[in-house]
């Protein structure tokens, strides 16, 4: 195994911790100085996310944002994912508004589509760089039957069992290990609960999507025992894209990338070898400029073809106006059901030792839906597989052209979208189980007491996905080939791809080529940890604290695609199986030193030994300076790393990358920029080339030689709690918080930006350079499937500012007012690969269905009087721009007239909620009613976004969402 070289910071921290050991030993025999007047006001110590040392300070060196149960209730949502994705520090992440389950192929990181899951991103660095903990212990990564992911599905933790959520907005690899580059989400479950609580909730959007949630929580115990049990049920119904005008509008081009060339009427691109005149339409020139490119006229029931008059009968030349608007067949909101059971037990074995146990079972069933599967056969399909080699035989009884269409000589493609088969349906069934058994307690040594815990954890996430209404490409090949050969195969009947909607496929044809596909995946995390924390020594009346521990983790991952995917016989996409595992052993130490009466210094060091790549050492230092009572200054500097996960190491898949070909995009033939012309010519693209489809199949996947990502992060901030604003006629409490963050990641694991790489290749001349290695073209000019595998390619750097303000008013006769503000300003985001190509993703730019707004701001206003409370929340997202060069439809609104950008205007959502405690004089009953997005603000139209024409990771669903809830505690 190769060992990573420890960085300078890690070495310095290691030395400082070792030098402190003699002091620690000497200090054990010295009694703490008496200070009874100060001990009387000492706060109970607690563990706050970002440190394992118990401490009394509420404001620590690390920036931590806490969402308690009261704040969670006021959001009006019922899932952990929705709560976290409303944070101003949150970036692009999966949620129920995403409706892709493989119809675009699989992403390059081997993690799969994540259909039905909800993830969390912090600082726009990706969900894989956020560590999710439950009660301080790692949560298993998600599995949605399409890969081996490096991200957790936070909706596997029911909101009903959550006491609070602590969000560490800082890197913490030295404290928690791999993945904690962008921050940590620590979900704290309910523990000291007495009695019973029943909860019921119902909400619905203007266009449907009814959401029901019910839960029951029971808790109690005795002198040495307490337990909590929870059961919950959640159901979210779907919303069809057809219910939104933007998706259902019959003219494609706005928000759906110009539609698809796979149409119900079909399309045929070919030439006729019998035509000898090189100037005649249909002549077989190598570049394909004279080839037929035709589609059936609407209403045609019996196609008729005359090669001498190809557009005089039932055919016309294919154009952008013929493209298919697939959006109405999709879903705006995907349906989901979740059932969960949770229990937490604590039993005092002795006065100093407690047994604790936790268990959770969560089942999720969810569905994604896409437009009917299009059939693409012929080399222009560009799959790199069987479909590219299919021959349409002249004797096929439905072939109207009277000639054999052979990829080797005269065939581009035949496409057709048989809507009579029905939409593609992807059903997921996902089980999550979690068991934690351990001991915790205290240990007395002299006059000091140490806290300790040991935990043994088993957790797994197992998923199965059934895909309906896909096709077997090998059977397509038989059914389109020589009918005499087809007749020798049981069930085979010649296939009609040429009749359009006027002559739909027969049921017999559909039954032969249609196939159900079943994919499955599973992730398992087994963990053992041991931790100890306590006081090291005293400096005057202050105490130095420490924490240390050991952790062993074993990861197993499996992905079993349907056999048709593995052999390339699936029309949907190719994927290879994965079955792998690795383990890691880690040691860490952390200390907090009160250097001065106003200054504390913290340091942490972690050593990790991985079975896959070797060892790594990371460190972190921080300070907390409180020069006066009202001010706290704090800062941290940390090293981080992220070990490559199993999907990144071993996955192999296909992905339908959306590429706007500079040599001639759809509807805009010929190089759009003179700087591309020479490169396009060198690659063999004709001067008037127009790409057949914007989705270019790309082979991508893992790399077993990957090294960990490494990061450097620092934060600096200030917390100001003015005493002059306490107990005043206008204010009871006022807090200001200002923080700066900076993250830099080296060796970021990713494939090259295929769009940027193609453009760089063409500018460099089109052939012979490293940028051009993945690219080649067919004689027609269409790109062959490129290869684009993962590597430690990029440097990612981002920085910004967080602003938080909280105000609590006094008790007036008419109630108490509160106000809160959280705002994040992203100053810069830049990703550059080792070839010098800069990613299009940057601040204020919409690209690849995601954006990094410069500003995101949440403001909460509250009023409480007796049993009544009302809250108003405003969520603001600043405007972003999308590059018109990424829009393949020249006449698309917003990009006409040669403008460079289309602007997605700033968006503001307003949420209103009212609550009534002890309603109808029934003690313990609380009723709530609210409307999120009360003014029905619609998301801005995105011309480059797939599926529904808006950015589902940044904006809310269109229309208002109303809800009611009832809680009864007894």
Angle at 371 between CA 368 and CA 374, to 5 degrees: 125
Range scoring the smallest mean pLDDT among 102-111, 344-353, 720-729? 102-111
Query: Do residues 735 and 719 lie in contact, with contact meaning Cβ atoms separated by under 8 Å?
Result: yes
- Residue 29 burial (C-beta neighbours within 10 Å; 0-12, 13-18, 19+): exposed
Crossing angle of helices 674-683 and 754-763, rounded to 10°: 90
Residue 20 has pLDDT above 60, yes or no: no
Q: What is the DSSP string of 40-81?
A: TTPPPPB--TT-SS-BS-SS-SS-EEEEEHHHHHHT---SHH
pLDDT band at residue 849 using 50, 70 and 90 as cut-offs: confident
Name the band, by pLDDT with cuts 50, 70 and 90, for residue 11. very low
State the first-to-last Cα distance of the chain, in angstroms, to the nearest integer: 58
> 353 vs 103, which has greater pLDDT?
353
How many other C-beta atoms are found inside a 10 Å radius of the C-beta of residue 844? 18
Give the other-Cβ count within 10 Å of 479's Cβ: 23
Closest CA to 657 of 689, 699, 711: 699
d(CA 705, CA 212): 47
Query: What mean pLDDT do residues 802-815 have?
Result: 96
What's the pLDDT at 835?
A: 79
pLDDT at 23 over 80: no
Residue 29 has pLDDT above 50, yes or no: no
- The pLDDT assigned to 5 comes to 44
Lowest-confidence region among 15-19, 237-241, 805-809, 938-942 = 15-19
**Which tokens belong to 802?**
């967080």
Q: How confident is the model at residue 834 (pLDDT cuts 50, 70, 90)?
A: confident
Q: Is the alpha carbon torsion for 486, 490, 493, 495 positive or negative?
A: negative
- What pTM, to 2 d.p., does this model score? 0.90
Q: What share of the chain is helix, strand, coil (3-state, %, to 5)?
A: 15, 45, 40
Average pLDDT of the chain?
89
Question: Is the pLDDT higher at 603 or at 596?
Answer: 603
Q: What is the pLDDT of residue 697?
A: 83
- For the record, the structure tokens of 196 come out as 């019973």
The helix or strand, by DSSP H or E, that contains position 647, with its residue range, turns out to be helix 646-650
pLDDT band at 306 (very low <50, low <70, confident <90, very high): very high
For residue 17, pLDDT beyond 70: no
The mean pLDDT value for 540-553 works out to 90
Residue 211 has pLDDT above 50, yes or no: yes
> What are the start-end ranges of the H helices in 186-295?
245-248
Which positions ≥6 away from 640 have C-beta within 8 Å?
171, 172, 173, 174, 180, 181, 618, 710, 711, 712, 713
pLDDT tens string 704-734: 999 999 999 999 999 999 999 999 999 999 9
Measured between alpha carbons, how far is 963 from 696 in angstroms, rounded to an integer? 43
Torsion sign over Cα 841, 846, 850, 852: positive
Higher pLDDT, 638 or 37: 638
Cβ-based neighbours of 442, under 8 Å, separated by 6 or more: 352, 449, 450, 451, 452
Over residues 860-869, mean pLDDT: 96
- 873-884 tens-digit pLDDT: 999 999 999 988
pLDDT at 258: 61
Spatial contact of 352 and 335, defined as CB atoms under 8 Å apart: no
Helix, coil or strand: residue 835: coil
Predicted pLDDT of residue 596? 86
Asked if 171 and 129 count as a contact pair (C-beta separation under 8 A), the reply is no
pLDDT at 656: 75
Confidence of residue 302 (pLDDT cuts 50, 70, 90): very high
DSSP assignment of 771-805 equals: GGTT--B-TTSPBPPPB---EEEEEEEEEEEEEEE
For 261, the 3-state DSSP assignment is coil
Mean per-residue pLDDT for 26-46? 37
Query: Could you tell me if 880 and 853 are in contact, meaning their C-beta atoms sit under 8 angstroms apart?
Result: yes
Average pLDDT value for residue range 954-959? 94
Which distant-in-sequence residues (6+ apart) come within 8 Å of 904 by Cβ? 846, 851, 879, 880, 881, 882, 940, 941, 942, 951
Closest CA to 572 of 519, 505, 509, 649: 519
* pLDDT tens profile 748-805: 998 888 888 899 899 999 999 988 999 999 888 889 889 888 999 899 999 999 999 9
């Amino acid at each position: 195994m190769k060992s990573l070289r420890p960085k300078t910071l890690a070495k310095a921290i290691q030395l400082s911790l070792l030098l402190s050991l003699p002091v620690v030993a000497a200090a054990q025999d010295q009694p703490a100085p008496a200070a009874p007047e100060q001990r009387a006001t000492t706060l109970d110590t607690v563990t706050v996310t970002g440190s394992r040392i118990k401490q009394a300070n509420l404001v620590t060196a690390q920036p931590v944002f806490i969402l308690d149960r009261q704040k969670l209730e006021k959001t009006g949502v019922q899932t952990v994912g929705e709560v976290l994705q409303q944070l101003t520090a949150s970036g692009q992440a999966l949620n129920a508004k995403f409706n892709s389950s493989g119809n675009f192929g699989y992403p390059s990181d081997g993690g799969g589509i994540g259909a039905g899951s909800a993830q969390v991103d912090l600082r726009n660095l990706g969900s894989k760089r956020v560590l999710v903990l439950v009660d301080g212990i790692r949560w298993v990564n998600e599995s949605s039957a399409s890969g081996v992911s490096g991200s957790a599905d936070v909706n596997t933790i029911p909101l009903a069992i959550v006491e609070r959520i602590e969000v560490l907005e800082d890197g913490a690899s030295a404290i928690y290990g791999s993945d904690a580059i962008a921050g940590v989400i620590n979900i704290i479950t309910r523990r000291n609960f007495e009695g019973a609580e029943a909860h019921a909730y119902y909400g619905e959007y203007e266009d449907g999507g009814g959401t029901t949630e019910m839960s029951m929580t029971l808790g109690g115990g005795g002198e040495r025992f307490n337990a909590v049990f929870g059961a919950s049920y959640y159901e979210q119904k779907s919303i069809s894209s057809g219910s939104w005008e933007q998706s259902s509008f019959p003219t494609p081009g706005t928000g759906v990338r110009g539609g698809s060339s796979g149409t119900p009427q079909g399309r045929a691109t070919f030439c006729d070898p019998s035509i000898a005149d090189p100037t005649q339409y249909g002549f077989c020139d190598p570049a394909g400029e004279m080839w037929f490119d035709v589609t059936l006229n609407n209403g045609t029931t019996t196609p008729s073809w005359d090669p001498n008059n190809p557009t005089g009968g039932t055919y016309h030349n294919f154009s952008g106006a013929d493209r298919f608007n697939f959006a109405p067949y999709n879903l705006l909101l995907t349906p989901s059901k979740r059932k969960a059971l949770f229990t937490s037990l604590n039993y005092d074995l002795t006065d100093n030792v407690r047994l604790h146990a936790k268990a959770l079972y969560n089942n999720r069933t969810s569905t994604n839906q896409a437009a009917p599967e299009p059939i693409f056969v012929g080399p222009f399909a560009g799959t790199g597989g069987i479909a590219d080699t299919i021959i349409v035989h002249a004797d096929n009884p439905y072939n109207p052209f009277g000639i054999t269409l052979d990829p080797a000589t005269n065939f581009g493609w035949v496409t057709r979208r048989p809507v009579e088969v029905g939409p593609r349906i992807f059903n997921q069934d996902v089980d999550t189980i979690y068991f934690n058994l351990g001991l915790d307690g205290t240990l007395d040594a002299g006059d000091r007491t140490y806290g300790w815990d040991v935990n043994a954890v088993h957790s797994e996430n197992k998923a199965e996905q059934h895909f309906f209404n896909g096709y077997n490409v090998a059977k397509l090949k038989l059914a389109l080939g020589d009918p005499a050969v087809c007749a020798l195969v049981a069930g085979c009947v010649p296939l009609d791809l040429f009749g359009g909607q006027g002559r739909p496929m027969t049921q017999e044809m559909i039954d032969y080529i249609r196939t159900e596909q079943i994919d499955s995946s599973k992730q398992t995390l087994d963990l053992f940890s041991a931790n100890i924390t306590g006081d090291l020594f005293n400096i005057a009346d202050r105490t130095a604290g420490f924490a240390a521990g050991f952790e062993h983790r074993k990861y197993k991952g499996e992905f079993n695609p349907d056999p048709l995917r593995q052999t390339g016989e699936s029309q949907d996409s190719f994927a290879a199986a994965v079955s792998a595992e690795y383990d890691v052993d880690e040691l860490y130490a952390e200390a907090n030193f009160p250097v001065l009466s106003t200054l504390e210094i913290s340091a942490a060091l972690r050593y990790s030994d991985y079975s896959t790549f070797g060892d790594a050492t990371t460190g972190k230092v921080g300070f907390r300076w409180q020069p006066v009572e009202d001010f706290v200054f704090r800062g941290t500097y940390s090293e981080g790393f992220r070990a490559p996960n199993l999907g990144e190491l071993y996955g192999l898949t296909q992905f339908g990358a959306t590429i706007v070909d500079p040599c001639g995009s759809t509807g805009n033939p010929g190089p759009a920029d003179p700087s591309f012309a020479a490169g396009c010519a060198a690659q063999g693209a004709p001067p008037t080339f127009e790409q057949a489809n914007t989705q270019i199949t790309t082979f991508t996947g893992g790399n077993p030689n990957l090294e960990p990502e490494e990061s450097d992060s620092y934060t600096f901030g200030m917390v100001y709690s003015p005493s002059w604003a306490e107990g005043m006629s206008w204010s009871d409490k006022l807090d200001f918080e200002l923080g700066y963050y900076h993250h830099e990641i080296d060796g970021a694991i990713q494939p090259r930006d295929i769009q940027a790489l193609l453009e760089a290749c063409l500018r460099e001349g089109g052939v012979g350079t490293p940028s051009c290695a993945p690219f080649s073209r067919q004689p027609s000019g269409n790109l062959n499937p490129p290869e684009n595998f993962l590597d430690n390619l990029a440097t990612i750097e981002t920085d910004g500012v967080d602003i938080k303000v909280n105000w609590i008013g006094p008790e007036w006769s008419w109630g108490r007012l509160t106000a809160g503000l959280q705002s994040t300003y992203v100053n810069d985001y830049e990703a550059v690969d080792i070839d010098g190509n800069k990613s299009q993703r940057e601040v204020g730019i919409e690209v690849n269905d995601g954006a990094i707004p410069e500003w995101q701001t949440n403001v909460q206003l509250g009023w409480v009087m007796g049993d009544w409370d009302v809250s108003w929340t405003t969520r603001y997202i600043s405007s972003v721009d999308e590059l018109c060069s990424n829009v393949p439809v020249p006449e698309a609104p917003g990009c006409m007239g040669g403008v460079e950008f289309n602007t997605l205007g700033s968006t503001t959502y307003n949420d209103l909620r009212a609550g009534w405690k002890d309603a109808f004089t029934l003690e313990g009953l609380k009723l709530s009613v609210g409307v999120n997005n009360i003014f029905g603000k619609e998301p801005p139209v995105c011309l480059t976004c797939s599926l529904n024409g808006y950015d589902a990771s940044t904006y809310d669903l269109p229309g208002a969402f109303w809800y009611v809830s009832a809680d009864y505690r007894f």
